[in-house]
């Protein structure tokens, strides 16, 4: 999957901006030349010319340059020291003295009172010589020499990171040793390097993920998963083209772990960065299939429903049919009644490079059976084992295995009576539900008791009033007789 054209244009602008920044930085780095002594420059260049022309031997010129470097360093002349060191390295490069150049680089870096600026400029200059090495072994040896100098020096962390990644690329491409390349970069923690731009850091982390996944080794797989956690949402939003690669590698990780729900989420994020509608439809199709293949949960069911409501997915015929089947509480016939859908599922493979697609059809069959069991549990309280096996189109032994797995996973609640060959679907109430039911019953009982007491009291008052009325009537009758 490629980034959109608009992003490519923005990336081109970004690269041109970076190149301008690099030119400005290079001009700033060359400010030291303005402070360079003309006498030192003339003498040094004359020695170099004499060596190249053959009027003086290489060894004699090298010895004189080393003495000059020592003199300038002792006199605390940073610019003169830097010029002498760089010309010495250039002389060794001109005469293809690679081993001697490695020794001189290490020697210059170890010398007492050596300037940090000199060491940094020396490494930056020698990095440019890598393309001129005669063979792979010489190049790797030269890289190791530069990495040895950069090791443990904060002001060389950018050069160290770049050299490490270059060494990884050489071992992978030129030597064909992918695990060796993984060993080179496994301890590189570029996210802790403050002198590296965020985009460059992200590129290096993504390259580490790619190499670790390509190793196809469990130890490196764990490293790839760990490295993926060092790229945050802000970085992904800032660099959409890198975000696309990140989601692709996340797909590889989730596929190898068979975490299809997370795989579906990653595919939906990648769909938003798709280049054209065809690519987006392909990614959406994979997202739908990944969601169906994931184990049942409330989150998975909600995602299925949201995918069904997606107007773009509704236009993909197979996705629309499959979503209808798995979001409707009806028995799904296996193989599907629509043979086109079955052939599509049978030939479906995820676009991941390192994941395993061999068990997709079998897993799809399992999810279909589990869906049918949930449908039966929704409409039946008791059912015969043979009848359920007929619904699922499997043997009784297979049906019992699938049902037992679902009960253990907590997807359904069922009890099997082997003597009567029946299954009872009844949810066992949790302690919280029992307490809640008891509380509601007590409340109802107290309310009924209060109503009863009120009715009794009301009746007593009515009877008392009637008695008083009868008593008053009798008194009136007596008075009339008298």
User: What pLDDT score was predicted for residue 482?
Assistant: 65
d(CA 169, CA 382): 64
User: What pLDDT score was predicted for residue 358?
Assistant: 86
The structure tokens listed for 23 are: 């030119």
Task: Please give the backbone phi and psi of residue 350, each rounded to the nearest 5 degrees, phi first.
Answer: -70, 155
Residue ranges in the chain modelled with pLDDT below 50: 1-20
Taking the complete model, does pTM exceed 0.85, yes or no? Answer: no
d(CA 164, CA 177): 15
The structure tokens listed for 142 are: 């030269």
User: What pLDDT score was predicted for residue 1?
Assistant: 42
pLDDT tens for 267-290 read 999 998 887 888 899 999 999 999
State how far the alpha carbon of 362 is from the alpha carbons of 222, 322, 369, in Å.
Answer: 27, 16, 11
Contact 286, 255 (CB under 8 A): no
Q: Which of 240, 268, 234, 236 is nearest to 254 (CA)?
A: 268
Q: Which of 348, 393, 390, 392 is nearest to 370 (CA)?
A: 392
User: What pLDDT score was predicted for residue 2?
Assistant: 37
State how far the alpha carbon of 278 is from the alpha carbons of 1, 264, 315, 412, 427, in Å.
Answer: 11, 18, 12, 39, 46
Convert 114-140 into a string of H (helix), E (strand) and C (coil).
CCHHHHHHHHHHHHCCHHHCCCHHHHH
Cis? peptide before 335, omega within 30° of 0: yes
Q: Kindly report the CATH class assigned to 343-425.
A: mainly alpha
Cα 295 from chain centroid (whole Å) = 20
User: What pLDDT score was predicted for residue 235?
Assistant: 92
Torsion, Cα 206 209 214 219, to 10 degrees, reads 170
Convert the chain into a string of H (helix), E (strand) and C (coil).
CCCCHHHHHHHHHHHHHHHHHHHHHHHHHHHHHHHCCHHHHHHHHHHHHHHHHCCCCHHHHHHHHHHHHHHHHHCCCHHHHHHHHHHHHHHHHHCCCHHHHHHHHHHHHHCCCCCHHHHHHHHHHHHCCHHHCCCHHHHHHHHHHHHHHHCCCHHHHHHHHHHHHHHHHHHHHCCCCHHHHHHHHCCCCHHHCCCCCHHHHHHHHHHHHHHHHHCCCHHHHHHHHHHHCCCCHHHHHHCHHHHHHHHHHHHHHHHHHCCHHHHHHHHHHHHHCCCCHHHHHHHHHHHHHHHHHCCCCHHHHHHHHHHHHCHHHHCCHHHHHHHHHHHCCCCCCCCCCCHHHHHHHHCCCCCCCCCCCCCHHHHHHHHHHHHHHHHHHHHCCEEEHHHHHHHHCCCHHHHHHHHHHHHHHCCCCEEEECCCCEEEECCCCCHHHHHHHHHHHHHHHHHHHHHHHHHHHHHHHHHHHHHHHHHHHHHHHHHHHC
């Amino acid at each position: 999957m490629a980034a959109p054209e608009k992003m490519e244009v923005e990336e081109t602008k970004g690269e041109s901006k970076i190149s301008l920044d690099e030119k400005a930085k290079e001009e700033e780095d060359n400010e030291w030349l303005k402070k360079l002594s003309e006498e030192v420059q003339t003498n040094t260049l004359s020695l170099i010319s004499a060596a190249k022309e053959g009027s003086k031997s290489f060894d004699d010129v090298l010895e004189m340059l080393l003495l000059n470097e020592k003199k300038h360093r002792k006199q605390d002349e940073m610019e003169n020291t830097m010029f002498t060191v760089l010309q010495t390295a250039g002389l060794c490069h001109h005469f293809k003295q690679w081993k001697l150049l490695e020794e001189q680089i290490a020697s210059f870096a170890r010398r007492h009172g050596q300037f940090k600026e000199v060491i940094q400029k020396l490494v930056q200059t020698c990095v440019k010589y890598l393309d001129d090495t005669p063979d792979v072994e010489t190049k790797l040896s030269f890289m190791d020499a530069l990495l040895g100098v950069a090791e443990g020096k904060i002001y060389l962390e950018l050069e160290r990171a770049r050299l490490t990644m270059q060494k990884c690329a050489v071992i992978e491409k030129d030597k064909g040793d992918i695990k060796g390349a993984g060993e080179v970069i496994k301890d590189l923690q570029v996210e802790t390097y403050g002198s590296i731009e965020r985009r460059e850091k992200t590129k290096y982390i993504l390259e580490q993920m790619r190499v670790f996944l390509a190793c196809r080794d469990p130890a490196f797989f764990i490293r790839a998963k760990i490295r993926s956690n060092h790229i945050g949402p802000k970085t992904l939003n800032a660099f959409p083209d890198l975000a696309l690669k990140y989601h692709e590698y996340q797909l590889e990780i989730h596929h190898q772990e068979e975490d299809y729900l997370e795989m579906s989420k990653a595919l939906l994020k990648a769909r938003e960065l798709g280049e054209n509608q065809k690519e987006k439809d392909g990614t959406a199709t994979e997202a739908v299939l990944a969601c169906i293949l994931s184990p049942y949960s409330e989150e998975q069911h909600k995602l299925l429903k949201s995918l069904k409501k997606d107007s773009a997915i509704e236009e993909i015929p197979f996705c629309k049919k499959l979503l209808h089947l798995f979001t409707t509480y009806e028995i799904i016939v296996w193989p599907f009644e629509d043979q086109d859908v079955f052939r599509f599922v049978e030939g479906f493979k995820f676009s991941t490079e390192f994941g395993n697609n061999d068990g997709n059809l079998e897993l799809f069959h399992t999810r279909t059976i589990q869906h049918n069991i949930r449908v039966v549990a929704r409409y039946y309280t008791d059912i015969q084992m043979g009848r359920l096996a007929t619904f699922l189109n499997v043997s009784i032994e297979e049906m019992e295995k699938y049902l037992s797995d679902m009960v253990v996973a907590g997807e359904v609640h069922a009890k099997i009576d082997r003597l009567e060959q029946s299954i009872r679907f009844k949810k066992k109430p949790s302690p919280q539900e029992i307490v809640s039911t008891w509380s509601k019953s007590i409340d109802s009982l107290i309310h009924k008791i209060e109503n009863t007491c009120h009715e009794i009291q009301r009746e007593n008052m009515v009877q008392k009033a009637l008695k008083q009325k009868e008593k008053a009537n009798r008194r009136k009758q007596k008075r009339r007789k008298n």
